[in-house]
Amino acid sequence: MRDLERFARALGVPCPRNVPIRRVVVDSRQVEDGDLFVALPGSRHDGHEFLDDARRRGAAAVLVSRPYEALPALVVPDTREALWQLARWWREHLTGHVLAVTGTAGKTTAKELLRHVLAPSGPVYASPASYNSTIGLPLSILNTPPETRLVIYELGINRPGEMALLGDLSRPKDVVLTALGPAHLEFFASYRHYLEEKLSILRHLPPGGRVFHPPFSGDEALVFRELFPEGLAEVETPPLEEAWQETHSARMLAGLVLGVARALGMEEAEIRERLRSFSGVWGRKTPVDVGGSRWIHDAYNANPLSVQDLLLSFRDRARIAALVLGDMLELGREAERWHRWVGREVARLGYRNLLAVGEQARWIAEEAAAHGVPAQWFPSVDALIQEALDDLLAAPLVLLKASNAMGFERILEAARARRASRPPAG
C-alpha cells in the first residue's frame, strides 16, 4: 500500500500527516475514498477551486501549490511538474512488460482490445478511457499496480515535442502502431512533421524492442522507413477477417492484436476466441437502438482517416438513410482541404443523404453537393436538432461522426428523449 509519506519523499517536501493513498486523480468529480487529489491549473478552471469538493467526496490528501488546511496537503511550487515527478518515480517501481499504443486512429480501441485479449496472461493494466496526453499518461502510470505483468499505455500527441516526453516517461518495451493519417495538423508545420513526431516513439524502444504495425503505404511508409531505428524488430500484421465488427478498422486492429498476443506467448486459438468476444468501445462505431431505428455512434473523435473508415464500413451505401458528419477539429491550415476531401469521398462511395454540422463541415456539404449528393448544412448541433431531428427519427439507419468537441452525443440524447415522448405508431 502506498502512503502519503512515500509521495512526500519522492517530491522532497514535508508530509504533514501520513495516510494511505489508493489512487491519484485530477478531476474532483472522480474522487473516491482514499484518493490523492492533484489540483492542476487549467485554461478555464484551477483545480484549487475544487479542493472542498474533493474532500467531500472522500479524498485522503491533496497535492497543491498553496496551503490547504482541511486535508493533509503536499505543497509544491508547480503541481503539474510534481505530477510528472511522481510519475517518473513510480515508473521506476514497475517491472511489467510495457506496450505503448499510438497512431492516428484506433488507439483507444486497440488498447482496450489488447486489454481484453491479454487478460488471461495477467495481471494486465491499461490506461483508462483515453488517458493518453501529458496529463493522462502520468495518471495512468501512477495508478498502475506494481505487481502488473502486462502494462498497456496509450500515447496521443497534439503538439511538437510531446512524444519525446511521453516516450521518456513510459519507456515501452514494445510499440503498437495503429493506422496513420492526418490529424492535429493545427499545431504542425505539415503532415510530414506530424508523422515524424508520431513515429519518433520508435526512438524510445530498447535494443531488441519490437514495433507492431499494419501495412503502411504512401507518406506513412516513406517516413516510417526513414525513421526506423536499427536494432528494432518489425512485425507487420495483416488484417484478420474474423473481428467483432465487419469494418476495415476492426479487421486491421484484430490482426494487429493477434500479432502482439502471439508474440507475447498466447496460443492462437485462445487469441481468436478472445477477439470474437470483444464488445467494442463506446463512441467507436457503437450500434444504438433508438426506438426501433439503428444509429451508429462514431462521434468520440474524427479525422480524415477515421471518417473514411466509417464511410467504407457499409457496403450498400446508397441505402444509408442519413449520414451526419461534423467538424474534424485541429486540422489548422489544412482544414478546408481535408473537409472537402471527405465531401468527395462521400460522393465517390455512393452515399445519398448527407447532413453536415458545423462551420468547417460546410466544406463537406459543398463538395458533396458539387458531386451530386443531396446535402444539407446546419451551423450547429442545436440547429440540426431543431430542424432535422424528426427526419432522423424516421430513418432506419443513421450514422453519426464528428470530433468529440462538436457534442454529437446531444443529438443521440435528443433523439432518445423525443422517441420516448413520441413513440412510433403501430
Residues in the chain, pLDDT under 50: none
Classify burial at 97, counting beta carbons within 10 Å of its beta carbon; exposed 0-12, middle 13-18, buried 19 or more. middle
Give the C-alpha separation, 400 to 415, whole Å: 12
Rg, Å, the chain Cα set: 23
Q: What is the pLDDT of residue 424?
A: 56
Give the C-alpha separation, 261 to 174, whole Å: 12
Cell of 261: 498476443
Q: What is the pLDDT of residue 95?
A: 95
pLDDT tens column, 209-245: 999 999 988 889 889 888 887 767 899 999 898 777 7
pLDDT tens column, 135-160: 999 999 999 999 999 999 999 999 99
Which class in CATH covers the domain with range 94-276?
Answer: alpha beta
Angular region, 307: left φ>0, alpha ψ -120 to 50, beta rest: alpha
Q: What is the pLDDT of residue 280?
A: 84
Task: Return the CATH architecture of domain 2-77.
Answer: 3-Layer(aba) Sandwich (3.40)
Q: What is the pLDDT of residue 282?
A: 85
Q: Which CATH number fits domain 286-421: 3.40.50.1820, 3.90.190.20, 3.90.1200.10, 3.90.78.10?
A: 3.90.190.20
Q: What is the pLDDT of residue 318?
A: 66
pLDDT tens column, 65-85: 999 999 999 999 999 999 999
Q: What is the pLDDT of residue 246?
A: 72
- Give span(s): CATH 3.40.1390.10, the chain: 2-77
- Give span(s): CATH 3.40.1190.10, the chain: 94-276
Q: What is the pLDDT of residue 7?
A: 98
Q: Which residues contact 263 (CB under 8 A, 6 or more apart)?
A: 174, 210, 212, 235
pTM summary value: 0.88
Residue 404 has a CB neighbour count (10 Å cut-off) of 15
Mean pLDDT, the chain, integer: 93
Q: What is the pLDDT of residue 313?
A: 84
Residue 74 forms beta bridges with which residues? Answer: 63
Distances from the Cα of 203 to the Cα of 160, 167, 177, 184, 227, angstroms = 15, 8, 14, 21, 8
- Give span(s): CATH 3.90.190.20, the chain: 286-421
Cell of 366: 459543398
Cell of 128: 483508462
